[in-house]
Structure 1
């Protein structure tokens, strides 16, 4: 449209293009602590684990299922996705007398997982002790048997190992930083398979503060120097944990507490 100029032009200015308003910054939302109200409908990816342990009541085998799902959040102003455990399931009938307590514990763990504090909940279960002696379950990073204060502690340690192999915890049961979880989930989406723990050569030297397993060289050396009458007489080594065998009720029994007995 033409415009007629009827007065003298004394100056001019080029109209600048208006700048777009900056996008609002997304509020921070830690995907590790985002509360999940309930288990979502449909199918979830799950890990099924067969747990075997030896205690005062002999060898036991149980099965455990842990379900996972992707969870969104905002870290550093950008949307991210990680994978979190959301449900723990212990099939019924495995430990009939304690089934109600096992079910209650699994439901509590599931609530903790959906509430964002499952790492602390599982670590706390490892502190549970009983009066029936140690329970042997699994091997540590030095390929030595692990001994736990109770069956509950043994199962809790096994749960930590499931979460470690899934990339959610580190090998000591500590929470992996959210940035690393984001990278591992992105790696999975890109390559089509989950993150795998690195395979390291077993370290034969015990770490600082580690306790040398019963039956080791130092223990055998001390046993040779032990004065007569200072403890029960040993009759060999346990085939399960290589600990000392002593005579109990006329039967060679493991003194280390793994539960092995020649008489069954």
Structure 2
């Protein structure tokens, strides 16, 4: 509607526009626990590792693949990005166990990773035990061999070591806080390579730890349980497992049958 001005205009001012509404604060969304519906299409960056261990059935070497992807979230009102494992793959035909159970375990572990609780799932696998004696796999920070309650536990420990070297877990298998994961991913983007554990935290270097050595080298390589005799089958060293002298070399002989 037009307004007629009948008096003399002596001045004017411009009415300011209304102040813009502030942008709503971003709601926190932890990228560590954010659920990923499915494996994304295309290529993912992965780590392939050969795992060696000694158990009741002898020396074994298996291969394991862990895939990673960047995941975006909101922490403290700021958008951040971390790297998470999203897929575990164990190629078939590597163990005498039925392939269906290995496949089922890896699929469940992958689902746990995409659901945001891979750390707990791997820790639970380390608790799996069997009745075939201890399994030797890997070396601790003091250069001593690590013994596990089963092959499953040994493989789970190896997965933890992959995640540790990638910066996702600490050396004891515990979850690294999300703030540290953000910093480590930013380091990767800045320097062009993944975060690396400090030198003092790295495992003691041991050359081909599962290959037998001769004479004094074998005695000094370290380690493990005390030798209580020699195997009558393969002449390997015997150690005490579950109260029975058991062949440490891996032929499976046990005095208890």
Aligned runs of 1:135-174 on 2, under 5 Å?
135-174=135-174
Q: What's the CA shift string for 1:94-135, capped at 9, x where partnerless?
A: 114332211111000000000000000000000001111111
The alpha-carbon distance between structure 1 residues 241 and 57, as it changes in their structure 2 partners (threshold 3 A), is farther
Corresponding position of 2:27: 27
Aligned runs of 1:45-84 on 2, under 5 Å?
45-84=45-84
- Return the alpha-carbon distance in structure 1 between the equivalents of residues 250 and 155 of structure 2: 26
Q: What's the CA shift string for 1:67-100, capped at 9, x where partnerless?
A: 0001111111111111000000001111143322
SS of the counterpart of 2:131? coil
Aligned runs of 1:247-262 on 2, under 5 Å?
247-249=230-232, 251-257=235-241, 259-261=247-249
Q: Residue 143 of structure 1: CA displacement?
A: 1.1
TM-score (norm 1): 0.78
- Return the alpha-carbon distance in structure 1 between the equivalents of residues 23 and 137 of structure 2: 54
The alpha-carbon distance between structure 1 residues 203 and 71, as it changes in their structure 2 partners (threshold 3 A), is closer
Do the aligned partners of 1:35 and 1:115 also contact (CA within 8 Å) in 2? yes
Do the aligned partners of 2:85 and 2:113 also contact (CA within 8 Å) in 1? yes
Corresponding position of 2:229: 246
The alpha-carbon distance between structure 1 residues 187 and 237, as it changes in their structure 2 partners (threshold 3 A), is closer
TM-score (norm 2): 0.80
Q: Residue 262 of structure 1: CA displacement?
A: 9.1
Do the aligned partners of 1:139 and 1:145 also contact (CA within 8 Å) in 2? yes
SS of the counterpart of 1:65? strand
Matched, 1:92 2:75: no
- Return the alpha-carbon distance in structure 2 between the equivalents of residues 109 and 249 of structure 1: 41
**Which structure 1 segments of 5+ residues have no match?**
205-235
Corresponding position of 2:212: none
